[in-house]
């Protein structure tokens, strides 16, 4: 369900005629994490046996081209070339994004059934159904004999009526509210053996991994566009609208939104907002790809909403705050040690003045001068290879790598540095600083460096002279 690789947003799509409805659906499918992971693995094309048109193979090439292309925009020519096999669409005639989404998913489902492996022998076993598919339960209760009948139906998306509603939650409540069946819509009860009035309740029995919601903006009576703004959340709890509303919450996270602009459903323009693998939101308007924030996304006149299943956002926020608190407190001393001093640089331990004095006293001893000379030179003399010079760490030095990329305190626990490490710390302003020449061991190190440089220069002269030597005939 999560992205396998984090990358920048992909390329935009050229509008080749009146193909904005096509572009937004292709972009939303490209940034559907489980579908993109499957298509980028090329698992379908390696076992595909279908001749001619295959929507899964086309989508594999398209997703890889969009995400890996270095161009700012590409042309979806393969999809437009085979529009007649997807549905009744033409590049020069405006289409509906919701209709193209349903036709595209059906074409991909058919490709998995006919051209996939032998395991994909039914609709419920295809990768398309495993990602987008779910089950609706229709529970019909006879008002005469109180008999209950359950019917199940596969769905790839949920179409909601939004006339008179102001939020997605209200539209979902209306979707699962009981409907009264009478007259022409009367229910034929198997127990009463006749058509009787009944009550029908539709609920989501099995939730999909990716929930696609269409906010129906076409008025059935006037055929006009419903332009009212319907509020929708970034995180949606689907549990109250399922067959078992008392179970644990089932959260979904918003990752794509399709917007339609215009006063009529027969015209206008489509663009979309998608969340890329880097967890950033982008507005994709044909060839244009611009960054935006979540507040801009939630203020749109949405037409299609794409949600992916996620963990509890409150739990994730709590764990994130706990981890941040632990990282902040790791660099602080305990309450018994008193208040913390000034903040040290990232990845560097700040040594108190008392520790500096102890380390400075130790550095004045001849023993520490010899130790510093030993770790700086560390001469080993193999029997056959001459002398090998190795530079190692001073005694007691902590070689643990430190994170110096992020500002703020180090994620290492606060502790007093060893005395050898403290001797190399720079003194604070106002403290006495011993001159470099008067430090014990400095003269010995200086002589050693001079001697080593002399040997290296002699070796270079020998090498150059050997290269210019000419052998006698």
Dihedral sign computed on CA atoms, order 410, 411, 417, 420? negative
Q: CA–CA separation, 258 vs 280, rounded Å?
A: 17
What lies within 8 Å, CB to CB, of 244 at 6+ separation is none
Q: What whole-number distance in Å separates Cα of residue 396 and Cα of residue 426?
A: 18
> How many whole angstroms separate alpha carbon 146 and alpha carbon 275?
48
Q: Which among 206, 269, 373, 397 is annotated as catalytic? A: 269
Q: Which H or E run includes 260?
A: strand 251-261
* CA dist., res. 278 & res. 316, Å (int): 18
Query: In the chain, what are the helix, strand and coil shares in percent, each to the nearest 5?
Result: 35, 20, 45
Retrieve residue 439's tokens. Answer: 């430090």
3 state DSSP class of 41: coil
445 part of the active site: no
98-119 burial: b if 16+ Cβ within 10 Å, else e: bebbbbbbebbbbbbbebbeee
- Based on its alpha-carbon atoms, the radius of gyration of the chain, rounded to whole angstroms, reads 35
Dihedral sign from CA coordinates of 74, 10, 41, 2? negative
Active-site annotation holder among 20, 28, 48, 214: 20
CA distance 448 to 366: 17
Of 364, 330, 358, 357, residue with least CA distance to 346: 330
Copy the structure tokens of residue 253.
Answer: 């996270």
**Three-state DSSP state, 412:** coil
| Known active-site residue 20 | yes
What's the distance, CA 113 to chain centroid? 30
Which strand (E) or helix (H) includes residue 37?
A: helix 33-40
Helix 442-467 and helix 366-377, axial crossing angle in degrees, nearest 10 = 20
Cα–Cα separations (whole angstroms), residue 172 to 151, 182, 236, 312: 20, 23, 11, 20
Helical segments of 133-286, H only: 168-176
CB 54 within 8 A of CB 81: no
Give the residues across from 275 on adjacent strands.
Answer: 281
Token readout for 141 is 């209760």
* Residues assigned a catalytic role: 20, 269
């Amino acid at each position: 369900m999560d992205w396998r690789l984090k990358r920048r947003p992909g390329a935009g799509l050229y509008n080749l005629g009146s193909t904005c409805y096509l572009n937004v659906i292709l972009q939303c499918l490209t940034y559907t994490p489980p579908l993109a992971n499957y298509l980028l693995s090329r698992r379908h094309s390696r076992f595909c046996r279908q001749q001619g048109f295959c929507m899964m193979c086309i989508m594999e090439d398209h997703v890889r081209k969009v995400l890996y292309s270095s161009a700012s925009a590409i042309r979806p020519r393969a999809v437009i070339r085979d529009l007649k096999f997807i549905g009744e669409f033409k590049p020069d005639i405006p289409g509906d994004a919701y209709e193209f989404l349903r036709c595209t998913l059906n074409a991909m489902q058919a490709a998995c059934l006919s051209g996939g492996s032998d395991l994909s022998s039914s609709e419920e076993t295809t990768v398309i159904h495993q990602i987008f598919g779910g089950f609706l339960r229709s529970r019909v209760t006879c008002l005469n004999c109180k008999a209950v009948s359950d019917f199940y139906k596969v769905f790839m998306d949920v179409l909601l009526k939004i006339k008179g509603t102001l939020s997605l939650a209200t539209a979902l409540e209306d979707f699962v509210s009981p409907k009264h069946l009478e007259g022409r819509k009367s229910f034929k009860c198997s127990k009463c053996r006749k058509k009787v009035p009944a009550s029908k309740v539709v609920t989501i029995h099995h939730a999909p991994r990716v929930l696609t919601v269409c906010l129906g903006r076409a008025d059935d009576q006037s055929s006009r566009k419903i332009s009212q703004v319907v509020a929708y959340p970034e995180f949606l709890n689907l549990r109250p609208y399922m067959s078992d509303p008392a179970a644990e919450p089932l959260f979904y996270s918003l990752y794509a939104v399709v917007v339609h602009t215009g006063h009529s459903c027969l015209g206008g323009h489509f663009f979309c907002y998608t969340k890329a693998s880097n967890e950033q939101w982008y507005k994709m308007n044909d060839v244009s790809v611009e960054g935006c924030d979540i507040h801009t996304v939630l203020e749109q006149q949405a037409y299609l909403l794409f949600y992916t299943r996620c963990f509890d956002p409150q739990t994730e926020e709590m764990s994130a705050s706990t981890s941040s608190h632990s990282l902040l407190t790791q660099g602080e001393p305990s309450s018994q040690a008193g208040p913390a001093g000034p903040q040290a640089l990232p990845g560097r331990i700040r040594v108190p003045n008392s520790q500096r004095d102890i380390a400075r006293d130790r550095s004045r001893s001849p023993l520490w001068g010899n130790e510093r000379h030993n770790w700086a030179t560390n001469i080993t003399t193999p029997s056959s290879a001459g002398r090998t010079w190795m530079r190692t760490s001073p005694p007691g030095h902590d070689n643990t790598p430190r994170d110096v990329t992020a500002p703020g305190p180090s994620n290492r626990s606060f502790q007093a540095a060893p005395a050898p490490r403290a001797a190399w710390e720079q003194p604070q302003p106002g403290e006495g600083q011993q001159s470099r020449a008067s430090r014990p061991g400095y003269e010995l190190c200086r002589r050693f460096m001079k001697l080593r440089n002399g040997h290296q220069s002699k070796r270079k002269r020998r090498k150059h002279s050997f290269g210019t030597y000419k052998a006698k005939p």
